Structure 1
């Protein structure tokens, strides 16, 4: 078990002043390093309060109860990165920490992230007090599903990546309350799904959640939150605030905490791929992080458009109307493990996974 590496330098009057630890490099580890604080996560003072009579967090499923931390810190903001915290997180590769990054470059962006003024979701004033959320993926299983009205009937609808809705309302709905993205997924989706009419969701009052996937995301954040062109990296000279369809609002903008991302990986989606030399490239999908974000902020979670056991019957995306494409397996994600996790959570009644009742039907 690896030990923590911290650094201090003499300060005034012989005291010690903490400084950034020496940079760790991924190439120096043949598999995911296991630190003695690997499974320790920052937690908020108290967990989310709810008046729902039977929230999912009260499940009796033993494995979920053991793994689930209801008050794990979800979001990172400007007060969360003192030197001690930097040195702790510098042991973990992105997006689970800051391995290989320079302290000053990351901190310049983090210091601009505002503290959230309200929870990601709020109870509605009617009904039984339960916050009901739909998490909508882009899977081809939704093509021809007719689930649009059911999805939009939820209090909140979470979407991510290339969430095309125009022209597909009958199957996927048109409401977006929370849009989860990285800088790469946002900019790439605008390009890849342009021919399907994709636009960044722009519902009034929409909340944006960013996954800080890599250094390019901190460069994006610095430009976004300072209202300046990105000064370096792959998005050099871009104006990030112009990519949010006129709905960017700092008070409705959230950045996921690296501890939350690592917690999701370690406790729910720890792939065997982490034991090999390709360990630095592996992480759960944006959709997976979104599901677990919903599980920590909502009382009832229904997931649509995620991989099911009969995935081969459907195209890769619901926008592929003629089922010519197949699910693509990338080296940086373990989609089969995620599929099994969704089924397990469904069977334990922790969330409901949409599965086709007519598995022999071809998408139309």
Structure 2
């Protein structure tokens, strides 16, 4: 793992209560009470115990970092967030982003067991989670990009391009602009070969779940996606979606290679290659719950279908970049005129974007537009919008 000059002490800090603007978010969720269980308790919280997403008194409390490095960029997301009437009540600049054994103990297990994965550990096994975390090197600094920057005193800004897989990027010619950023974030399929002019060539961070990786390897194999992006400077951002992800990690850690045993037979052509655990980052459930609660809370959470919903991997990735970077540009994300574009830029034939109940893309579309309009991010919205990029 990269060693940074700055080190922060972490603690669990109670934030002032944030009240979502949605009326339904305040009034329709059932109040829930449950005595904190121990890992050996007979009674375990399960999804089936609730007819809608349970609401706990500590629902909107998150683990924060003390002593995180501060940006010296005058145009940083963190500076703009503090100046935004809408965003300053939502944004937590020192949120804990990565999960490791130093950010995990029995108290944390009891707290996070109240939330369904990927927002917590409901339904998981304590020994499995702890056993996995003990094998990973601790993350010495949550704000790893700020910590890695030379502390010269200059007004240097960390720029990041977050590349989704939307069809809006097809024939966009955005490749050079994407590669001009300090860091490039990609997600899921992330096909590059043959699409360099539109999506660029560099990858700094790759975000995925076990399911999204399996599906990408399966459906995009014939188009050239045979493995996760590889490179000595690439960091992997694993959104821990549930039991399957921890089983994958158990096998990966046992073999020190990507876990063969968990792959389906249809993935026999997958290229298994070892990689350093120093570059493998587990996203903390608090970050994902923060994204859901404060930015992308869907009304489906107030129904019996609540376990189905979570923000998309692209949304998780973009909000993670906003926590890490000073300046964020988003490419390949849903825009107001999404119906004009194919589902993905790499689709061989034009396919309409499909909406499923597990994601709320309309909610995501509104969020990206609002962040763009407030100058928090720059959102690529097609050829006519290029001139507005700084």
Instruction: Give the TM-score of the pair, scaled to structure 1.
Output: 0.88
> Which residue does the alignment assign to 1:212?
240
**Which of 252, 266, 290 is equivalent to 1:263?**
290
Q: 1:174 deviation in Å?
A: 0.9
Q: Aligned residue for 2:327?
A: 300
Give, in whole Å, the separation in 2 of the partners of 1:327 and 1:356: 16
1:35 is aligned, of 51, 56, 62, to 56
- Counterpart for residue 12 of structure 1: none
1:48 and 1:70 in contact (8 A); partners too: no
Q: Secondary structure of 2:278's partner?
A: helix
Separation in 2, partners of 1:309, 1:338 = 11
2:252 aligned residue: 224
What TM-score does the superposition give when structure 2 sets the normalisation length? Answer: 0.82
Task: Tell me the SS of whatever aligns to 2:95.
Answer: coil
Q: Which runs of 5+ in 1 are unaligned?
A: 9-17, 360-364
Give a deviation string over 1:191-230, Cα, whole Å, max 9, x none: 1111221242113311111000010101111222232689
Match of 1:6 in 2: 36
2:225 pairs, out of 186, 191, 198, with: 198
1:91 aligns to what? 114
Retained in 2: the 8 A contact 1:48–1:297? no
2:92: which partner in 1? 69
User: How far 1:25 moved relative to its partner?
Assistant: 1.2
Structure 1 match to 2:180: 153
CA contact (8 A) 1:70 1:296 kept: yes
Q: Of the candidates 45, 52, 76, which is equivalent to residue 24 of structure 1?
A: 45
Contact 2:32 2:54 in 1 (8 A): yes
| Partner residue in 2 for 1:344 | 370
Pick aligned residue for 2:123 from 82, 86, 100: 100
Other structure's SS at 1:64 match = coil
What are the superposed Cα offsets for residues 242-264 of structure 1, whole Å, 9 maximum, x if unpaired? Answer: 97874621111100001111011
Counterpart-to-counterpart distance in 2, 1:150 and 1:89 = 40
Distance 2:67 2:305 in 1: 37
Shift of 1:22: 2.5
Q: Distance in 2 between matches of 1:277 and 1:283?
A: 14
What is the Cα-based RMSD across aligned positions, in Å? 2.7
Query: Which moves more between the two structures, 43-52 or 244-253?
Result: 244-253
Query: Greater CA deviation, 126-135 or 267-276?
Result: 126-135
The answer to whether the 8 A contact 1:76-1:113 is kept is no
Equivalent residues of 2:257, 2:272 under 8 A apart: no
Cα offsets for 1:132-163 (capped at 9, x unmatched):
00000000000010000000000000001000
Distance 1:257 1:290 in 2: 13
Give the Å deviation of 1:320: 2.0
Shift of 1:111: 2.2
Deviations 1:253-300 (A, max 9, x none): 100001111011000100111001110110001100000110000000
**Higher mean C-alpha displacement, 189-198 vs 139-148:** 189-198
